[in-house]
């Protein structure tokens, strides 16, 4: 269908409270677009009238968000504002105690289990298989037919490790999330229930496909420094209850995961209380190393809904954890896993140490005393700030000075921002920030001291997603993927004609628009508009009958062959089969991400890179990337880098529903009451 042309001024973005804002929303173009039952025709409107990046309106403050104009200068070193986590780590005796307590509860329930323990950066410290435990687990099958990674049999140890890593990676000193929490925030409705059909998708919809074994960012066991993290998770992040974080003195030191029933699934119904053996076994294991109650997920709300930490409590345990038998008496054995765990019981590494692979940056490496970077375990940064590598594709790639300015300004915004998913209230936001060029090459990666680990890989996914879908080669490179992923419907290249048909134009995948992860998320939901249960899916999603957390659409189709490689004994090194760039890199080497938190970076009207942010609420992530890009451009004066022109941002794209109603995509969404040092509101408007 031929694209239409229309004149349109976008409506202002919806604002949320400081905690509720984690659940990203996108606004209809005008009232009346939320009616049920209409079918969706394909119609893309390329709009001629520019709008603001935040969704509309104007601002009298040219330095919204704290930016400054003028000529470029070397900024003074900011003052420290974050508390660095204490150096805590699990000992061998503590790891043995975790296993013994889990085994005692499993024995009391007559449910022999595979028990995995990891440290904060994902080093697998032990995998213990009780006598009689299942040897395999199966990802939850779809009754309408499996696609992507539904119904796949995997070694039970891999499932247990993924659950342990999830508990460790999603948590921090300010929030403790479990795999049950993950289940709540990754499904097609939030909160997930038969009673919530019509609500939007979970705020971290798609996060399960991160920290994948194919990611080029995550470290591999036995490669390089032995304890360097973050380590890869064999199945990404888990939504199957039975994984919890472990704490010492209020500091995250690792996680524990249990696989005992052979079903690697999720909880689709939040209104009841499950009696889950795996969750009870994992809870018993945490005794003495359990998360502080003040930061558990059930103390954190999203859009007025309290998150869920555990359906099991101490009174549900059938054993006495304090009286668990000695580790040496347990019936079972430690189970090595090739590429993940060499065997034996290992001590954890203290997060923040050079050996952990994540440490405080020197001021020469990054101009902020609170900045943490990824290191190689031997003193060198893994992703030092550098210039763009895409000179063959871009006339004037990002310079090292520009890359530094963008990252430093984004870090400053984060340091002022009010956290959304941390306790106590009015804590500072803590995130990971990645910058890439148009080829997906990392030009710098920095984080705050206590940002959750999952955000490292996710921030890079978000940056690459924005750069890829804003660039001119998305359609060509997706169409060039020839490896079928689980059947014809899973084939990556099929998403190109599906997207062109949805929009009635090839423009969306050929660089006509500046696209964010939020916009890609808009068209990656099993209903479009999101949550409208009577409507067809977005073009990058699976239809609802085929959708599950194991089959989201393009996101999962891109990486499924890498899971096949892993289960066949291989060691996948990049997540997609896109053709490599002229520089030999892959633009989506760790996959894509489909929840908000990125901004493409332009020099005038030319794409030169993208920033991705992840860690402390998706609206905060959007704001940090958006204002960091804006302020980075201001700091450099006339250098010309910064936000894309308003006229080409994704919020200029409207889709027509049956009956003539129009719904626009989003660019970014910024939170209500965003800063701790000012009462300024609407900080993304008019920019």
For residue 36, is pLDDT > 50?
no
For residue 14, is pLDDT > 80?
no
Q: How confident is the model at residue 637 (pLDDT cuts 50, 70, 90)?
A: confident
What DSSP designation does 125 have? E
Q: How many CB atoms lie within 10 A of CB 234?
A: 26
Between 632 and 26, the higher pLDDT residue: 632
Q: What is the pLDDT of residues 432-442, one digit of tens each?
A: 999 999 999 99
Which tokens is 454 given? 């999952």
Residue 640: per-residue pLDDT: 86
For residue 13, is pLDDT > 70?
no
Distances in whole angstroms, Cα of residue 494 to Cα of each of 185, 482, 542, 564: 28, 10, 12, 20
Nearest to 610 by CA among 636, 629, 589: 629
Q: For the ranges 144-153, 483-492, 543-552, which has the lowest average pLDDT? A: 483-492
Rounded to the nearest integer, the mean pLDDT of the chain is 89
Report the alpha-carbon distance of residue 535 to residue 35 in Å, rounded. 10
Between 9 and 480, the higher pLDDT residue: 480
For residue 71, is pLDDT > 60?
no
For residue 68, is pLDDT > 90?
no
Residue 223: per-residue pLDDT: 76
For residue 31, is pLDDT > 60?
no
For residue 26, is pLDDT > 90?
no
For residue 106, is pLDDT > 80?
yes
For range 104-120, the mean pLDDT: 98
Using only the alpha carbons of the chain, give its radius of gyration: 23
Q: For the ranges 37-51, 330-344, 559-573, 642-656, which has the lowest average pLDDT? A: 37-51
Residue 659: per-residue pLDDT: 75
Alpha helix locations (H) across 548-663?
554-567, 618-635
- Whether the CA torsion 394, 399, 400, 406 is positive or negative: it is negative
Query: For the CA atoms of 346, 354, 257, 245, what is the dihedral angle to 10 degrees?
Result: 120
Q: How many CB atoms lie within 10 A of CB 340?
A: 26
For range 177-201, the mean pLDDT: 96
Domain boundaries, the chain: 92-334, 361-664
Report the alpha-carbon distance of residue 237 to residue 168 in Å, rounded. 10
* CATH top-level class of 361-664: alpha beta
Residue 224: per-residue pLDDT: 75
Name residue, tokens 């049950």: 180
For range 107-135, the mean pLDDT: 98
Q: What is the pLDDT of residues 330-389, one digit of tens each?
A: 999 999 999 999 999 999 999 999 999 999 999 999 999 999 999 999 999 999 999 999
- 92-334 and 361-664, same CATH topology: yes
- When mean pLDDT is compared over 219-228, 489-498, 646-655, the highest value belongs to 646-655
Strands 44-47 and 4-6: parallel
Report the alpha-carbon distance of residue 632 to residue 164 in Å, rounded. 38
List phi, psi (to 5°) of 244: -135, 155
The share of the chain scoring above pLDDT 90, in percent, equals 81
Report the alpha-carbon distance of residue 35 to residue 33 in Å, rounded. 6
Q: How confident is the model at residue 485 (pLDDT cuts 50, 70, 90)?
A: very low
Report the alpha-carbon distance of residue 285 to residue 281 in Å, rounded. 6
Name residue, tokens 């079928």: 484
Residue 74: per-residue pLDDT: 65
Strands 332-334 and 243-248: unpaired
Q: What is the pLDDT of residues 286-312, one digit of tens each?
A: 999 999 999 999 999 988 899 999 999
* CATH top-level class of 92-334: alpha beta
Residue 222: per-residue pLDDT: 78
């Amino acid at each position: 269908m031929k694209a239409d042309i229309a004149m349109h001024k976008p409506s202002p973005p919806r604002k949320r409270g400081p905690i509720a804002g984690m659940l990203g929303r996108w606004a209809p173009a005008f009232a009346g677009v939320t009616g049920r039952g209409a079918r969706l025709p394909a119609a893309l409107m390329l709009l001629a009238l520019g709008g603001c990046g935040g969704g509309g309106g104007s601002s009298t403050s040219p330095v919204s968000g704290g930016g400054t104009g003028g000529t470029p200068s070397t900024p003074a070193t900011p003052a420290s504002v974050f508390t660095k986590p204490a150096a805590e780590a699990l000992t061998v005796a503590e790891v043995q105690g975790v296993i013994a307590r889990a085994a005692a509860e499993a024995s009391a329930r007559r449910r022999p289990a595979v028990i995995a323990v990891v440290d904060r950066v994902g080093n697998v410290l032990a995998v213990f298989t009780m006598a009689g435990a299942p040897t395999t687990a199966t990802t939850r099958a779809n009754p309408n037919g499996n696609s992507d990674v539904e119904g796949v049999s995997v070694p039970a140890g891999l499932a247990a490790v993924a659950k342990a890593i999830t508990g460790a990676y999603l948590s921090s000193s300010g929030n403790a999330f479990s795999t049950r929490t993950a289940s709540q925030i990754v499904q097609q409705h939030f909160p997930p229930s038969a009673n919530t059909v019509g609500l939007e998708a979970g705020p971290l919809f798609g996060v399960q496909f991160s920290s994948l074994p194919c990611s080029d960012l995550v470290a591999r066991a036995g490669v390089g420094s032995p304890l360097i993290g973050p380590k890869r998770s064999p199945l990404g992040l888990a939504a199957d209850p039975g994984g919890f974080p472990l704490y010492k003195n209020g500091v995250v030191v690792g996680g524990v995961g249990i696989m005992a029933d052979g079903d690697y699934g999720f909880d689709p119904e939040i209104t009841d209380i499950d009696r889950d053996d795996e969750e009870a076994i994992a809870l018993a294991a945490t005794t003495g190393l359990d998360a502080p109650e003040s930061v558990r997920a059930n103390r954190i709300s999203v859009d007025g809904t309290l998150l869920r930490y555990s359906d099991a409590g101490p009174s549900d345990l059938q054993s006495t954890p304090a009286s668990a038998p000695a580790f040496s008496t347990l019936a079972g054995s430690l189970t090595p896993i090739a590429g993940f765990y060499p065997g034996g019981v290992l001590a954890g590494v203290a997060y923040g140490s050079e050996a952990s692979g994540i440490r405080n940056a020197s001021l020469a490496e990054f101009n902020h005393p609170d900045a943490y970077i990824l290191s190689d375990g031997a003193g060198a940064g893994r992703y030092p700030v550098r210039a763009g590598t895409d000179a063959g594709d871009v006339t004037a790639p990002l310079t090292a000075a520009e890359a530094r300015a963008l990252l430093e300004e984004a870090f400053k915004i984060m340091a002022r921002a009010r956290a959304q998913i941390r306790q106590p209230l009015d804590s500072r936001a803590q995130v990971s920030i990645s910058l890439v060029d148009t080829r997906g090459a990392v030009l710098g990666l920095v984080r705050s001291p206590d940002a959750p680990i999952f955000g490292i890989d996710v921030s890079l996914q978000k940056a690459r997603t924005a750069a890829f879908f804003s660039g001119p080669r998305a359609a060509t490179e997706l169409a060039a993927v020839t490896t079928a992923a689980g059947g014809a419907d899973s084939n990556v290249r099929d998403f190109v004609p599906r997207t062109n048909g949805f929009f009635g134009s090839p423009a969306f995948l050929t660089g006509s628009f500046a696209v964010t992860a939020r916009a890609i998320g808009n068209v990656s939901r099993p209903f479009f508009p999101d949550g409208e249960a009577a409507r067809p899916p977005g073009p990058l999603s699976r239809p609802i009958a085929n959708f599950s957390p194991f089959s989201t659409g393009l996101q999962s189709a891109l990486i499924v062959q890498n899971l096949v490689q892993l289960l066949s004994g291989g060691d996948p090194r990049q997540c997609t089969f896109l053709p490599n760039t002229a520089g030999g890199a892959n633009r989506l080497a760790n996959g894509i991400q489909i929840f908000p938190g990125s901004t493409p970076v332009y020099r005038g009207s030319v794409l030169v890179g993208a920033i991705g942010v992840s860690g402390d609420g998706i609206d905060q992530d959007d704001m940090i990337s958006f204002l960091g890009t804006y302020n980075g451009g201001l700091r450099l004066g006339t250098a010309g880098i910064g936000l894309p022109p308003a006229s080409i941002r994704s919020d200029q794209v409207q889709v027509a529903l049956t009956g003539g109603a129009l719904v626009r995509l989003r660019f970014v969404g910024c939170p209500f009451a965003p800063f701790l040092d000012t009462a300024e509101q609407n900080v993304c408007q008019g920019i």
